[in-house]
Structure 1
Amino acid sequence: MSKIKVVALGGVRENGKNMYAIEVDDQIFVVDFGLKYPDNELLGIDVVIPDLTYLEENADKIAGIFLTHGHADAIGALPYFIGEHPVPVFGSALTVALAKLTLTSNPKAKKFKDFHVITEKSVIDFGKVKVSFFPTTHSIPGSLGIVVQTPNGSIVYTGDFKFDQGAPKMYQTDLSRLAKIGDHNVLALMSDSNNAESPYPHASENDIYDHIEETFHYQDGRIIVASVANNIQRIQQVLNAAAQTNRRVVLTGREVERVVKTAIRLKALELPNDNILASTKELKDLKPEETVVLETGRMGEPLKSLQRMANNKHRLVHIHEGDLVYITTTISHSMETMAAKTRDMIYRAGGEVKAISDDLHASGHANKDDLQLMINLLRPKFVIPVEGEFRQLEAHREIAADAGIPDDHILMPNVGDIISYDKGKLHISGHVDAGNTMIDGIGVGDIGNIVLRDRKMLAEDGIFIAVVTIDRKKKKIVSKPKIQSKGFVYVKTSKDLLNESSGVVEKSVQKQLDNKSFDWSTLKQSVRDDLSRFLFDHTKRRPVILPVIMEVNQNSAKRQ
């Protein structure tokens, strides 16, 4: 009997950052290697990836990284690991090509070459363990589920999936393959929970295309389409609808251009005619009724780009009277406030807004019926809901129970939990260090709670700077404290407050100078504490306080 562990390093009780380590004896099989985009509270943070400590400490045991599809929540964290730990990476042709694009900005990772292209027919033999794949329906071609076949049964990871009987051929799920997998002892099913709360049936992709084409047909002016850069299926539908209505499509971002070129090269995306794409230079010469602008935004987030368009700050497009902004991506619950604000800004600029989600339930993830069908096809002994926030995992747990899975055979791990196989049962047996690693520019993990707290304080209450020069030997203040404020109060109307603040600083510094046991850190902390209490009493605000203390004497001047 093999020793089996499943470690959720991300992707549970959160949206995105999917990463799971399946450990069989002395081999680790990592399925997905994703990131997530930060919440509004994470000021200045670009992306968030899982804590990679566990994998770094066990890098010599990793047999491979297996990717289900080419979206950032499945491939985005690769550049932060494989540059230092070059383990093999497996995925479909399009997934591998998109994964390579993520490496270009990382000097070490972009040299990585150990990629392996697999298909749904591939079987990789690792001795006691065999890894195979099955095609799934998602918003991008080349999506695959993963089967890790162990001596004790198979562990199946679906990745992002849904069932759509009308899906185009390259997006279709192989139901017979799933049934065959279910005939061979599925120990555990790790299944997508992102849409588990929804009881509504999906709109088929055929219905979505009809919605897009009808919208294009009845719009007389310019159409600005907001989408996600890696949603290849939606981009294909936009191109086809544009061709049907005699429009040309302008790609506004470098990221979407790279994705489109890659997809065309791999025949995952087809141009309906040779003239369908227009360059950004041609945009000003196109008539409004001939124009579709495809905006995906930085890192695939279109809302902020739409706001820049509405405020005339976008480098290429400004929204004006007659424009239709057509949102073809499903907005997550966490972004609803921002989406409402974006709509308001567009209307103020003179444009109109329409969204597919206003009329159809469109999602690339499994709903209740899909999840139960997957369970019934695979017939697992245990179900592990993954890929979703807690309420979504809980909804998935109820769905699995309704499908006949006993309550004690449904496990809901937290990030870092270890699920172990022992005496024929899976159970949570321990925990590894796991959590978030925040990426800010080129910094990886160097931003912590203290820095984020300071950023929040700066954003909310500004900064208050007190500069004072002292002569420590003579125990006196050489010059009266000077006060500067940024983002806290309007200086011209707050002169009395600033003058009183100067007096508070002066008293605080003099008190420390008179103290026999003088200490620089104590002096600065005393100024912070006294000034903070004074400012809060008078304004009920707490700015970041920065005391700058300089020391002079008869022979030299130096800054401390």
Structure 2
Amino acid sequence: MSDVKISALGGVRENGKNMYIVEVKDEIFILDCGLKYPENELLGIDTVIPNFDYLRENSEKIVGVFLSHGHADAIGALPYFVSEFNVPVFGSEFTIALAKIACENEEGAKKFNDFHVINADTEIDFENATISFFSTTHSVPESLGIVVKTNKGDVVYTGDFKFDQTASVGYRTDFGRLAEIGKEGVIALLSDSANAENPAEPVDEHVIADLISETFEYHKGRVIVACVASNLMRIQQVLDAAAAKDRKVTLTGFDAEKVINTALKMKKLHLPKKDLLIKPASMGKYQPEQLIVLEAGRAGEPLKSLYRMATGKYKGINLSEGDLAFITTTPSHAMDTKVAKTRDMIYRAGAEVKAISDEYNSSGHASKRDLQLLINLLHPKYLVPIQGEYRLMFAHAESAQQVGMKPQNIFLLKNGDVLEYAKNKMIMASSVEAGNTMIDGSGVGDIGNIVLRDRKVLSDDGIFIAVVTIDRKKHRIIDTPKITSRGFVFVKASRDLMTESAEIVSKVVQDNLDNKEFDWSHLKQDIRENLNHYLYEQTHRHPVILPIIMEVNQHRHYNKKKQPAK
């Protein structure tokens, strides 16, 4: 029997949705509980969270959830998790504050209050392991790496991190602590891969701060800054630059206002001037060159808000000539198409676009050199690249080999894979249930592959509806079938197609009515198959075919009163 198991319910071969499990004997330690935002093929889906089935089957073994930082990729699924599991949640003061904000938005999580604030010096003893932490550098303050100390050695989880020697207080990596952990003996390192493919070193944050300040100084108009609400490092730079250039800042987006106000109360942000922030309704009192609009977007997606501003669909703020859209976030490559479309619409609106990523390599994630330095500090026996698409994990593995790690000691997991450490050796063992749980509106997990497939077909080829009324007792069709479609063909220009389709439906229905073994499901399937064959022949498309069969009974029964005898 293995002593330690490591598995990923999310976060490998994808962007976001981080959730990793370390099992030590009969205790389960959950590292992060994040979400990811859907890509184009997930039509209509709001967010995606991990599948909790394995945790449901082993709920009595879970001892806690340990959070590395306060971004959605680490805490976004927590509201759905705590709605179902009553286990303690541990994180730094600011991470817990952001987790509570996230839980307030989910009805089932509002009453959950088993939160525990820890810091880099905290150690928590459990029956089979000790959990400790170390400070890391990321774009949100109080980010922590997590150590699961077992009698076989340490399992280290970095969370999102990078190394920046110029980082300010609250963002600094504790290199001394990393060296200590390395001396204790690390059996497995679960390390961030999100920036592993980029060979260039990211610039220090003070360079970004100077760029923001220069932009505010030299642009003689309104600047709309697109920034993720929880990227407090960037937001502080914006506030400092606005104050220095005598501009006012207005916050747009409910999420941004709530997160920033919380950060101000907790002194994780500070206002260089008391009257720096103004309400959106007060913008009309100032000239454009006096204004900075800080847009964080709903659920941390500022690019969508910029798109709506450019197309005149954003309440209160529309981009126009003289405006500058300043993108200070670094979108993933999966959003390249969305970024290009957003830029195009901004220019069409008469505004200009500038992005930090156009001029500098800026990232909150470790570069190749950072990853190699971490390996040299920790000396892990095994490496598990996480947090990134496969090519990024592969690049991480290659960089590890360059500093002496053996290929057989590096594991590129899929979600659900389980590593087992027993007899001083790590092996790929069994697998557990893992996948996507889709969130669509208030529905959690009620959208599956079949629904997504239907949505895809509807978006590609539309829907074709055939309505027919029958009298089953008389074995006849009451009226000519009514044919209509949406998103398939223009009905008025396709009368012959509609007429022929109605005739096909009539023939199929009559054949079924004449059959002594009449069956409703067989009738509908017959209509679908015959229409599908005909429509593909004529259009080379496969719409969703919806037969609607209505039955009437034309026999009327009257209560005839007996006529009195004459």
Q: Which residue of 2 aligns with 1:332?
A: 332
Give the unaligned 5+ runs of structure 2: 558-566
Distance 1:356 1:556 in 2: 77
Q: Aligned runs of 1:392-407 on 2, under 5 Å?
A: 392-407=392-407
3-state DSSP of counterpart to 1:179: helix
Q: Deviations over 1:489-548 (max 9, x none)?
A: 222222222222211211121121122211101111111111122222112222111111
- Total equivalences in the alignment: 557
3-state DSSP of counterpart to 2:341: helix
Distance 1:89 1:126 in 2: 14
Q: CA deviation at 1:128?
A: 3.3
Q: CA deviation at 1:284?
A: 2.7
3-state DSSP of counterpart to 2:353: strand
Q: Aligned runs of 1:537-552 on 2, under 5 Å?
A: 537-552=537-552
Distance 1:92 1:479 in 2: 70
Look up the equivalent residue of 2:505 and give its one-letter code: V
- Answer yes or no: is the 8 Å Cα contact 1:2–1:152 preserved in 2: no
Look up the equivalent residue of 1:329 and give its one-letter code: T
- Answer yes or no: is the 8 Å Cα contact 1:411–1:427 preserved in 2: no
Q: Which residue of 1 aligns with 2:440?
A: 440
Distance 1:467 1:512 in 2: 16
3-state DSSP of counterpart to 1:342: helix
Q: Which residue of 2 aligns with 1:154?
A: 154
Q: Deviations over 1:359-395 (max 9, x none)?
A: 0000000011000010011111111111111111111
3-state DSSP of counterpart to 1:339: helix
- Answer yes or no: is the 8 Å Cα contact 1:466–1:481 preserved in 2: yes
Look up the equivalent residue of 1:452 and give its one-letter code: L
Distance 2:45 2:556 in 1: 42
Look up the equivalent residue of 2:38 and give its one-letter code: P
- Answer yes or no: is the 8 Å Cα contact 2:2–2:422 preserved in 1: no
Distance 1:113 1:339 in 2: 39
TM-score between the two structures when normalised by the length of structure 1: 0.98
3-state DSSP of counterpart to 2:79: helix
Give the unaligned 5+ runs of structure 1: none
Q: Deviations over 1:52-89 (max 9, x none)?
A: 01111111111110000000100011111212211010
Determine whether 1:368 maps to 2:368.
yes
Q: Which residue of 2 aligns with 1:506?
A: 506
Determine whether 1:183 maps to 2:183.
yes
Q: Which residue of 2 aligns with 1:527?
A: 527
Q: Deviations over 1:453-472 (max 9, x none)?
A: 11111112221111110011
Q: Which residue of 1 aligns with 2:347?
A: 347
Q: Aligned runs of 1:341-490 on 2, under 5 Å?
A: 341-490=341-490
- Answer yes or no: is the 8 Å Cα contact 2:471–2:554 preserved in 1: no
Q: Deviations over 1:313-370 (max 9, x none)?
A: 1112111111100010112111101111111111011011000000000000001100
Distance 1:443 1:411 in 2: 35
Look up the equivalent residue of 1:237 and give its one-letter code: Q
Q: Which residue of 2 aligns with 1:289?
A: 289
Look up the equivalent residue of 2:520 and give its one-letter code: W
Following TM superposition, where does structure 1 have runs of at least 4 consecutive aligned residues deviating by more than 4 angstroms? Answer: none
Q: Which residue of 2 aligns with 1:259?
A: 259
Q: Deviations over 1:117-156 (max 9, x none)?
A: 0010111111331111000000000100001110010111
3-state DSSP of counterpart to 1:210: helix
Distance 2:422 2:149 in 1: 17
Q: Which segment drifts farther, 101-110 or 211-220?
A: 101-110
Distance 1:507 1:321 in 2: 62
Determine whether 1:168 maps to 2:161.
no
Distance 1:42 1:423 in 2: 43
Q: Which segment drifts farther, 423-432 or 530-539?
A: 530-539
Determine whether 1:114 maps to 2:114.
yes
3-state DSSP of counterpart to 2:480: strand
Q: Deviations over 1:204-233 (max 9, x none)?
A: 100001011111110001111111121111
Look up the equivalent residue of 1:362 and give its one-letter code: S
Distance 2:338 2:81 in 1: 32
Q: Aligned runs of 1:265-284 on 2, under 5 Å?
A: 265-284=265-284
- Answer yes or no: is the 8 Å Cα contact 2:472–2:513 preserved in 1: yes
- Answer yes or no: is the 8 Å Cα contact 1:252–1:316 preserved in 2: no
TM-score between the two structures when normalised by the length of structure 2: 0.97
Q: Aligned runs of 1:64-75 on 2, under 5 Å?
A: 64-75=64-75
- Answer yes or no: is the 8 Å Cα contact 1:2–1:151 preserved in 2: no
Q: Which residue of 2 aligns with 1:98?
A: 98
Q: CA deviation at 1:2?
A: 7.3
Distance 2:121 2:88 in 1: 19
3-state DSSP of counterpart to 1:273: coil
Give 1 or 2 for the bigger CA radius of gyration.
Answer: 2
Distance 2:127 2:507 in 1: 75
